[in-house]
Amino acid sequence: MSVRYNKQGFTFSSSMEVELLVLTDLTYDELENFVKSQGLERYRADQIADWIYDKYVFNFKDMTNLSKQTRNELAKIAKIIDLSPVERKVSKLDGTTKYLWILEDGNTVESVYIVHPNRNTACLSTQVGCPVGCPFCATGQSGFIRNLKTSEIVGQLLFMEKLHGEKVNNVVLMGMGEPAFNVDNVFKVLEILTHPKLRNIGARRITVSTAGVPEFIEALGKKFPQVRLSVSLHAPNDEKRDILVPLNRKYPIALVIQALKRYIEDTGRRVTLEYVLISDLNDSPDDARELYNLLKGLKIHVNLIPLNPAVEGYKRPSHERVTGFARYLEARGVEVTIRIEKGQDIDGACGQLRMRR
C-alpha cells in the first residue's frame, strides 16, 4: 500500500509498488491529519513529532510510547526521513564539518555545520545543483538536476543535529541551489522549522538567501516577515552582474532594488547583501562608489566575501583591496562585515559546494 498527501487529504492505494509517506514532508497540521486518518488519537501527532524533532528517532520501532501494533502499521505506509550521510569532512582549521548526503534516487548534495564560539549554524541545500550558473561558483558550474523535497531539506538539519548531539542555533538556506526556484518546498521547510511543536526555531534565527528573484523576495516578506533575507548581489551594475549572476538578465538590478524597498517597507527588517569580491572584476574603488550609490537610503548590511578558491580563472583580491572597499562604504554610513570564511580546507565555504556523481 502507498499513501499520498494532497490538499484534499490523504489518499491510499493498494498498488503493488510501495511508496512510503515521509513524515518530515509534513507540516504539523498535515501530521495531525495523517494521525487521524490512521484512527489514532490526535495527541499521537505530538508524540511522533517529539520523537522526530526533539529525540532524533527516525525509526518507528523505537517510538516506545506507541503500541507495537501502531508502530508496525505506521511502518507499512510511512517513514521518517529520506536521505543518508555518506561522507563527513571536518576542517582542521576551525572545526567546520561538511556532509555529503545521498538521496533515494542516487543524487547527492552537500551541507555544512559551522561552529562559532557561542553558537552553531547549519547551512542547508535546497536543490541538487543550481540553475543560476554563476561562473565563479562551484555549485553553479556543476549544473542542475532537480529541487529537493521538503523532507530532504529538513533531513539535512535533523541528521546534523543527531550526529553532533546538540541542537543548531541558526539555520541558513545558503547551500546548493536557489531557494526561490523551490519556493513551495522552501516555504514548507520554514513552516516546519518554526512550528512550536516541530523543530521550534525562532524565525529570526533562520536566513534565506536568493540571487535576486523579486517575486520571491516579496512573498517571503509577506509570509515569513521575521525570517532573515539575504540577497547575493556581487556587482554594482547590470553590465557586470549579467556576467557574474546570469539571473540578472531576467531580473536586472533595478527590479531587485525595487523588491528590496518593498520588502523593507513591509517588514521593517534589515536586508543582508552578499557581495563576493573578485580580483579585477568587482573590487575597484569605482565599484565601491557605484554600490554605495545603489544602496543609499536602504536598510542594508553588506557582507563582503573575498572569493573562495572554487573555479579556475577567478582570483581572490588582496587584503588591501578588500579592506579599502569596506572602508569606503563604512565611511559613508553603510554597515559592512568582511566575512571570515570557515571550512575552506574542506571546500565547505561559500561557493565551494558541488554535486558529486
In the residue annotation, 130 being an active-site residue is answered as: no
Hunting for cell 569606503 — which residue is that? 328
Q: Pull the grid cell for residue 267.
A: 517588514
- d(C-alpha 1, C-alpha 13), whole Å: 5
User: Cα 239 to chain center, whole Å?
Assistant: 28
Q: Pull the grid cell for residue 252.
A: 536586472
Q: Is the Cα dihedral 308, 143, 245, 226 positive or negative?
A: negative
Closest-CA residue to 308 (of 356, 354, 347): 347
Helix H or strand E segment including 169: none
From the candidates 30, 32, 110, 161, give the one annotated as an active-site residue. Answer: 110
Contact, 34 vs 23, CB < 8 A? yes
Q: Is the Cα dihedral 248, 252, 253, 258 positive or negative?
A: negative
From the candidates 123, 134, 137, 350, give the one annotated as an active-site residue. Answer: 350
Q: What are the φ and ψ backbone dihedral angles of 106, each rounded to 5 degrees? A: 95, -10
- d(C-alpha 332, C-alpha 234), whole Å: 19
Cα-Cα-Cα-Cα torsion 211, 214, 215, 220, nearest 10 degrees, comes to 70
Closest-CA residue to 272 (of 351, 203, 174): 174
Mapped onto helix, strand or coil, the DSSP state of residue 218 is helix
- d(C-alpha 41, C-alpha 234), whole Å: 52
In the residue annotation, 134 being an active-site residue is answered as: no
Bridge partners (DSSP) of residue 78 are 21
Bridge partners (DSSP) of residue 11 are 4
Pairing label, strands 97-103, 83-90:
antiparallel
Helix H or strand E segment including 170: strand 170-173
Q: Just list the catalytic residues.
A: 110, 350
